[in-house]
Amino acid sequence: MSARIAAGFAEWRECRAEYDQVLYARYERAAEACNEALLNERGRRKRIDPISLFMGPSIRAYAYASPELIEHWEAYPRLTYAEFELQWMSSRESPNW
């Protein structure tokens, strides 16, 4: 494997690890704010893992989210990996003076 590819993979792993920490913190904050009521009836019936609502397509997340969680997301929006990655990369770029 070339050095550039190896560096790219290492950078991706670092970004992904930081995203996982942010994701879990957001999940914990939402669970506390919603008194653990993160799933609607449909989500509970299908035995959806509540943390999965914080990943993947928003259409799926909103389909299974409780009203309390949807309200929580109005104050603290879901953050997709793609959004996080852009922010993460921007914070690492040096300014062009």
Determine the structural domain holding residue 23 and report its residue range: 3-92
pLDDT at 1 over 90: no
In-domain check, residue 36: yes
In-domain check, residue 30: yes
pLDDT of residue 94: 61
Is the pTM of the predicted complex or chain greater than 0.75? yes
Residue whose token pair is 């950078």: 11
Q: How many CB atoms within 10 Å of residue 62?
A: 14
In-domain check, residue 58: yes
The residues near 84 (Cβ < 8 Å, ≥ 6 apart) are: 15, 18, 19, 22
In-domain check, residue 97: no
The pLDDT confidence band at residue 96, using thresholds 50, 70 and 90, is low
- What's the total number of domains in the chain? 1
